[in-house]
Structure 1
Amino acid sequence: MDHFLYRDGVLHAEDVAIPAIAAEVGTPFYVYSTATLTRHYKLFEEALEGVPHCICFAMKSLANQAVLTLLGKLGAGMDVVSGGEYARAIAAGIPGERIVFSGVGKTRAEMAMALESGIRQFNIESEPEMEALSEVACAMGTEAPVTLRVNPDVDARTHEKISTGKKGDKFGIPISRAKEVYAHAARLPGLRVVGIDVHIGSQLTDLAPFETAFLKVVELTHALRAEGHRIERLDLGGGLGIPYERSNSAPPLPIEYGAMIKRVTEGLDVEVEIEPGRLISGNAGLLVSSVIYEKDGDGTDFLILDAAMNDLLRPAMYGAHHDIVPVIEAEPGAEQRTYDIVGPVCESGDTFARKRTMPPVKPDELVGFRSAGAYGAVMSSEYNSRPLIPEVLVSGDNFAVIRERPTFDEMIARDKVPSWVQAMTAAPEPES
């Protein structure tokens, strides 16, 4: 469920008409719903009620400070994968004891940053990383809480670029070597083993792969405890999918996901950690764009928008689907047209949809990309020197710009021309 609905034929974000936002901030822009973010976070809280747990929002899906602050005030922790994300979480008021540091390539500087300001745990991905963290913690005279991420060799049955739990993926330690690596961790100074971590991928639409992986982790928990390790937490990652195509069957609900976790971990006496991102933020966001041109091609009609692949990379990178709808609702029974929907970037990959049937829209009219709150703004860039687009947060009948669009002058001013280039003599004008 989201809070982007038509009212009197006009698409609204909660109680704010989308055209009103467009008139103030220009297009393209992202808009997020406070009510949807809140509802989705609370669904996970309800799903794990009665079980000791910590819900850490996967910041890689959406990292705006306003959103992080909102979720933090609701009680969320954060799952971070870089020093920059850690700094954002701290700046949003998230206490260190609610921040989990994941990722395969943590640097010593990032480790020191987190140890200095506070951390719930590091999810360790390799033995070299574990040894580096031991050295950093010892040099700082402190102790680092750690889980080891195990790779259970489970096929998540999702897109190959977001599958993370199969043998051959770059993530985690093979579960077949887990006992050996945990024994190594127990011998290293400066580390305190607190649990096990697993994450098999993103946008899963079936609970079966989750359950297969989690059962392997439960079995490993018993084996490690038998060897004297204190396993207090199970970090079960994230990955629960959302319905990008509204005509498709819906993925499992958080309440079903939570029931499965409770069943699998019953009697284990552990704290459960989960790291949802997409399911909290995905349907909480909309990308709004203006039509620049309709173009009649040779057998293909094009709808050319002012949003581009640098604003929303998912279709170009993953072949991902987003429902694209007119902001002004079409009349019942209105004719339909079939378009290739594209942006203005000079690449054929700048294509949002091929052979998409929708009501016709004209130049300067608005369209909305649904389910754009996750992996939209965070993956955007200034390719083609196109400014990063604004982000807007709506609550009821209020809205605020939470990231402004930079001007061309501001973008250019970030570049610095060295003095020896400035001193070069300009090439002479060619003779006529």
Structure 2
Amino acid sequence: MASPLPLAPDTPDPEFRDLLAQRPQLTAHAQDGLCLEDVPLARIAAEVGTPSWAYSANTLRRRYRALRDALGDAGLRATVHFAAKSNSNLAVLRVLAGEGAGADVVSGGELRLTVAGGIGADRTVFSGVGKTAAEVREALAANIFQINAESAEEVEMLSAVAAEMGLRAPVAIRVNPDVDARTHAKITTGKAENKFGVAIADAAALYARMASLPGIRPIGIAVHIGSQITEGVSAFRAAYARVAELVTALRGRGLPVERVDCGGGLGIPYRDEVAPKPEALAGAIAGALKHLDLPVMIEPGRWIAGPAGVLISRVVLVKHGATRRFVVLDAGMNDLLRPAMYDAWHGILPVGAELFHSARRPADVVGPVCETGDTFTRGRDLPELRPGDVVAMLDAGAYGAAMSSTYNARPLAAEVLVDGNRWAVVRERQPFEDLLARQSVPDWVAG
């Protein structure tokens, strides 16, 4: 099993210029400082305040097209369904809808968001281990494209709900191929001990059971082995090979298989990882599944949205401890949870032009939340930051705002979409009054 990436890796951190070279959406201007596309991040910080998220529309487009084109070049009939759990901002969804993307959702709420963002239910896959009957009714009424069933118990529930509605639910079985994706233990999903999917040895019998049930239209096999997979594509190949064997066996029994859902999980280089290219993933899919002559689907989230976003934050103070320098930001773990939850590494760049080439020395970058775990990095080489200076945390477009909370009564940060030299606030900063609006005190409580 892969070990989590430490907050202070043993190897030297990438230089600022190296972080920029790998991220064409970011540039450092001599006067304007760090820019996302053609918009200075200092301008966003000044006008919108901090912390704030900023997303690059052209990065979303470019990366979606790279996946789509790689699949097409491999000779696959393929569709790309953006994993809304990674970033469900309506403007982000609308950008991808304009590119023709479908969606992958894991709740009724995400289905409503993707439809509002312009991605119809007829282009949406509904995944997840805990769908409720109410969510299934809503999805079926909206003409959902596909429901991925993750257990025999769920199949029975889907049959009952669809039959009650007089419909046939389009259902694929998500199989668990018992493949180690060698990613962080908290985001691996394809091993035998994980809660996701049906054991692949049991899948054929369950698929045959689906074919006999009222209200079910068996349409295919789905698989997803984990997130942030960077150690080549061998795990993908192994999983898809097992899926191909299963599809062949189902066809041998005269059971219909319309398509294969290949899931997501393609990793990105947050630090200096050598992540697989879309062409490698497409090759793994084609090598294992192309001979079946079936349409395939992929469900990327992080690969599309991660590099498109940054979290802009301001230095509150710099605390000099006995042995360490602490840079305290106004962004905390309630904003960007990944370092606290996964020991994740994010690049941190100063926004001001005068700091980009300044001398650096180690600092611990922390947030204001009352938790020791509210630490973004330890021992990172950074300039002599002062209160009021602005920094950007990179590759925060996926599982950033989507995982935010109001812990410590900290309202949700604003979100901004950048498109060339244009930018707009696409989610206002949450007012504190919202934290009180849905609370009440019973009249029998004293005080």
Please give the TM-score of this superposition, normalised by the length of structure 1. Answer: 0.95
Distance 1:14 1:259 in 2: 31
Query: Contact 2:266 / 2:303 at 8 angstroms: preserved in 1?
Result: yes
SS in structure 1 opposite 2:27?
Answer: strand
Question: Which of these residues, 190, 207, 221, is aligned with residue 247 of structure 2?
Answer: 221
Paired letter, 2:112: A
What pairs up with 1:354-365 in 2 under 5 angstroms? 354-365=378-389
1:379 aligns with 403
Distance 2:141 2:105 in 1: 16
CA drift of 1:330 comes to 5.3
CA drift of 1:170 comes to 0.3
1:385-431 deviations in whole A, cap 9, x for unaligned? Answer: 0010000000111111111112222322232223333xx3x3xxxxx
1:52 aligns with 2:74: no
Distance 2:156 2:265 in 1: 29
Query: Contact 1:121 / 1:147 at 8 angstroms: preserved in 2?
Result: yes
Relative distance call for 1:130 and 1:59 in structure 2 (3 A) is same
CA drift of 1:331 comes to 6.2
1:412 aligns with 436
Question: Which of these residues, 30, 44, 48, is aligned with residue 8 of structure 1?
Answer: 30
CA drift of 1:2 comes to 4.2
Distance 1:397 1:333 in 2: 25
Question: Which of these residues, 33, 47, 65, is aligned with residue 90 of structure 2?
Answer: 65
What pairs up with 1:240-279 in 2 under 5 angstroms? 240-245=266-271, 248-279=272-303
Distance 1:51 1:97 in 2: 21
1:147 aligns with 2:172: yes
Query: Contact 2:350 / 2:356 at 8 angstroms: preserved in 1?
Result: no
CA drift of 1:73 comes to 1.4
Paired letter, 1:91: A
CA drift of 1:6 comes to 1.0
Question: Which of these residues, 147, 160, 165, is aligned with residue 185 of structure 2?
Answer: 160
Distance 1:316 1:249 in 2: 20
1:96 aligns with 121
Distance 1:46 1:262 in 2: 14
Query: Contact 2:355 / 2:383 at 8 angstroms: preserved in 1?
Result: no
CA drift of 1:87 comes to 0.7
Relative distance call for 1:274 and 1:325 in structure 2 (3 A) is same
- Over the residues paired in the alignment, what is the CA RMSD in angstroms? 1.2
1:178 aligns with 2:220: no
1:18 aligns with 2:41: yes
CA drift of 1:160 comes to 0.1
1:430 aligns with none
SS in structure 1 opposite 2:313?
Answer: strand
Query: Contact 2:76 / 2:290 at 8 angstroms: preserved in 1?
Result: no
2:322 aligns with 298
Distance 1:277 1:2 in 2: 19
CA drift of 1:185 comes to 1.1
1:104-133 deviations in whole A, cap 9, x for unaligned? Answer: 000000000000011111000001100000
Question: Which of these residues, 393, 416, 441, is aligned with residue 369 of structure 1?
Answer: 393
Distance 1:7 1:120 in 2: 46
CA drift of 1:357 comes to 1.2
Query: Contact 1:2 / 1:284 at 8 angstroms: preserved in 2?
Result: no
Query: Contact 1:330 / 1:359 at 8 angstroms: preserved in 2?
Result: no
Question: Which of these residues, 261, 269, 274, is aligned with residue 235 of structure 1?
Answer: 261
CA drift of 1:300 comes to 1.0
Paired letter, 2:80: I
Relative distance call for 1:168 and 1:260 in structure 2 (3 A) is same
Distance 1:178 1:231 in 2: 13
Distance 1:202 1:360 in 2: 35
Query: Contact 2:25 / 2:59 at 8 angstroms: preserved in 1?
Result: yes
Question: Which of these residues, 123, 136, 150, is aligned with residue 125 of structure 1?
Answer: 150
Distance 2:107 2:24 in 1: 29
SS in structure 2 opposite 1:267?
Answer: helix
Query: Contact 1:232 / 1:271 at 8 angstroms: preserved in 2?
Result: yes
Q: After the TM superposition, which of the residue ranges 178-187 and 283-292 deviates more from structure 2?
A: 178-187
Question: Which of these residues, 305, 314, 319, is aligned with residue 281 of structure 1?
Answer: 305
SS in structure 2 opposite 1:392?
Answer: strand
Which sections of structure 2, spanning at least 5 residues, go unmatched?
Answer: 1-22
